[in-house]
Structure 1
Amino acid sequence: MCYSAGHRRQHGNASPCLEKRSFAVLHDALPLLFFQFSRSSDTRMLHPPSLAGQRGGYEKPRYGITQCGCARAFGLDGGHRALAGQGKHQGPLGKRQGAGIRGDVRARRGKPEPAAAAQRRVHHQERGQDQAPALRRGGEVAVPGMKALKALPLLSLLCALWLAFSALAQGYPVKPVRVVVPFAPGGGTDVQARVLFRELNEQFRQPFIVDNRPGASGLIGAEAVVNAPADGYTILFTTATLASNATLYKGTMKFDPVKDTAPVMWVSSTPLVLIVHPGVAAKSPEELIDLLKKSPGRLNAAINVPGSTSHLAAEMFKQLAGLSFTVVPYKGGGLSMAAVMSGEVDFQFAEGLLAAPQIRGGRVRALAVTTPTPLAGFPGLPAMNGILPGLVADNWFAIYAPAGTPREIVNTINRALKKALEASAVRALFEQESLAAVGSTPEELGAHLRREIDRYAEVIRKGNITPQ
């Protein structure tokens, strides 16, 4: 059907077109309606078989909109190339099939004489080509705004993605969230994660499930997270080990800690405490140094995992004091603490989170802290920095998501964690275990991670530390 003004006699046997005013509202509301192309029998026309070398009959069907002189009804003329297509409009009554409306211009499918073609070009230029078919070879059409129309699928896709991400962030989480802890159960990271994410369970009414994935100094769990879908339903709760692993496992790591993670929050930090088994004949850092020097290689030290802050603190202790002792790695802070309590190893730089209850219970003896100055949470303990200048170390805990996680989801988790840090149960744990709450922004965690990578790299190179 042709939607235009006119009379049947002007268009051969075509139905009379409707006037512009009949479709004014439709034109304003649904302008794209007139650019929807359909394939039907109306898009086929006869061409005359009268010219030598040409066949008559039906032309190959084309896609298009029937176009005639009444295209002005929809503003498709006037200096622009009009919508074009083949139609079965015929010329005035009495004309042969396929002839043009005007007698001086032959049918489109005919082969015009040179003079007639020239005359038609001049006429179209003067009249704005309001009746000129703009059909190019192959059935393509030139339509005002066609470039914009071609961009519509891409724009629609972008809008759909934006709406999907917005809806995802607003409804997050709609299912359980897996919190990967890359260390064994019972360690400081595990204890803190369970108390912290219990608060998020209450906030979102969705379970945040702690999933312990120990091994390879935290790399197994971290790798599981960076390879997970970036949808916020798998996140990592880890320690400063992620920074030391960047140097310790350089060349063998299957991911980049900076590029392949989305920082969420630097949650907290804890000092390290130098502890010994009660059977070790040392009641101060100085006495332990003397004992190690008198019996080099006889005593051994437990470390959480290779490359952990407990490992780096032990290495700094060895470098600064000129000592020799054996380092025994474990798969987490809980296991290494149990080894010291049982006498399997002699001493350790343990996380304050794990050391505090064992110190109070008399199961281990504390000698010093690794903070720059003494801590109120460990009264009476000196700072190692005052005995061996430069021996400053702490363990920090942070949360990451896979790279590419929508920022709206990262912000949602960050806000929930800040609220959780104010919960009474979390504050009680932090006070009891000498944890310092940080609650950083994602940007602050990213900057801190890069600084720590550089700092630990120097210690690892000096100590010639390698994966065990």
Structure 2
Amino acid sequence: MSHPSHQLLFAMSILAAAALLAAPASAQTAAYPTKPVRIVVGFSAGGPTDVVARAFADFASRSLGQPFVVDNKPGANTILAAEAVASAPADGYTLLVGATNHAMIPALYSARVKFDAVRSFAPICTVAVSPTVLVVGPAMQTPTLAAFLQQVKAKPGQRTYATPGTGSSGHFASEQFTRLTGTTMNHIPYKGAAQAVTDLVGGQVDSSFATLGSVLPQVQSGKLTALAVASPQRSALLPKVPTFEEAGVKGYSADAWYGLLAPAGTPPAIVAALEKAAQAFAQAPATVDKLRGLGMDARSVCGTSFGTQLQREVQSYSRIARELDLKTE
């Protein structure tokens, strides 16, 4: 009569042992984070990357129950911030909120960096994009991308485009466009986006491949004309402006992304927790509204997809830098 009870006891002991074996892993997952998390940003406070980082930090603090604290570490075109995270313990307590220029580091500074822009990091998710938009000012009154291309091809190397500086995301976006379309234009670099936009509005330069956030007020007021956005789909902020694909330039994409990275080797359970938080942040209505006010769209590309995108961009920017013989100090 005792035989069934022996079987029951044996089964219960097996289940108890299995539960004990599983406990450390599940406890580790459930425990993160148990202390404040530092989010390093390679720009000064107030810029778009910083604003995105602070919005995510606030959201993650509330959803994960520990403070997420932004640490601004500007300098050397974000190299100092990336280096600080790449060399930090891979425990999920030091993270990087980076932007598109992270993928440009190998193209411009490979001789001086002590980390690999791809392999030194665990990609979590992008959380926002600021589409690159081709805008023209009063010096080049072309209503469509087709008309713009017609004028550029009619005067090879004479039409000008403004950028925030040599080696900037705008510079790379412009060079990608000219290579894809077989055109040549004259690059006018500035020391920042504000002066470039001022001269574009004033008619000193013809065009600019700019992040949408940097030119949105001028487009909305009619001082600049947006011809196309370099995104897979139209921007909700400029619903009447076609994508480059729709306007006839196939395969051109130049979104400026903002995303979360951790040191390489961060435990998968912690990466998964951060990925879940990043996706929830990008989907939150409050995030969507806040980012739209900055000329950005909330969008999350996570894990291996984000890693693949990063690798592809590094290769593309490095190739363009070699072709242009870009030198940096």
TM-score tier, shorter chain, comes to: 0.7 to 0.9
Question: What is the SS of the residue equivalent to 2:231?
Answer: coil
> Please, what is the CA RMSD of the aligned residues?
3.5
Instruction: Give CA-to-partner distance per residue, 1:172-226, whole Å, 9 cap, x none.
Output: 3233322122234443322322223221122134332223333333222111211
Instruction: Give CA-to-partner distance per residue, 1:43-68, whole Å, 9 cap, x none.
Output: xxxxxxxxxxxxxxxxxxxxxxxxxx
User: 2:36 matched to 1:180?
Assistant: no
2: CA distance, partners of 1:293 / 1:211: 49
1: CA distance, partners of 2:266 / 2:227: 44
Could you tell me which residue of structure 1 aligns to residue 289 of structure 2?
A: 428
1: CA distance, partners of 2:275 / 2:141: 44
User: 2:30 matched to 1:170?
Assistant: yes
Q: Which runs of 5+ in 1 are unaligned?
A: 1-158, 331-335
Larger Rg: 1
Could you tell me which residue of structure 1 aligns to residue 272 of structure 2?
A: 411
Alignment of 1:23-62 (within 5 A): none
2: CA distance, partners of 1:436 / 1:304: 26
Could you tell me which residue of structure 2 aligns to residue 396 of structure 1?
A: 257
- Amino acid of the residue matched to residue 201 of structure 1? S
1:370 to 217, 221, 230: 230
Q: Which runs of 5+ in 2 are unaligned?
A: 1-19
Question: What is the SS of the residue equivalent to 1:252?
Answer: coil
1: CA distance, partners of 2:27 / 2:227: 54
User: 2:104 matched to 1:248?
Assistant: no
2:80 to 206, 220, 240: 220
Check the 8 A contact 1:292/1:324 in 2, yes or no. no
1: CA distance, partners of 2:153 / 2:62: 50
TM-score (norm 1): 0.55
2:299 to 434, 437, 448: 437
- Greater alpha carbon shift after TM alignment, 372-381 vs 393-402: 372-381
Could you tell me which residue of structure 2 aligns to residue 340 of structure 1?
A: 196
Question: What is the SS of the residue equivalent to 2:92?
Answer: coil
Could you tell me which residue of structure 2 aligns to residue 282 of structure 1?
A: 141
Structure 1 or 2: more strand by fraction: 2
Check the 8 A contact 1:194/1:210 in 2, yes or no. yes
2: CA distance, partners of 1:461 / 1:178: 35
1: CA distance, partners of 2:35 / 2:166: 33
2: CA distance, partners of 1:297 / 1:234: 48
User: 2:53 matched to 1:197?
Assistant: no
1: CA distance, partners of 2:78 / 2:116: 14
2: CA distance, partners of 1:256 / 1:316: 23
- Greater alpha carbon shift after TM alignment, 392-401 vs 449-458: 449-458
- Greater alpha carbon shift after TM alignment, 219-228 vs 388-397: 388-397
Check the 8 A contact 2:283/2:298 in 1, yes or no. no
Could you tell me which residue of structure 2 aligns to residue 452 of structure 1?
A: 313
- Amino acid of the residue matched to residue 262 of structure 1? A
Structure 1 or 2: more helix by fraction: 2
Question: What is the SS of the residue equivalent to 2:102?
Answer: helix
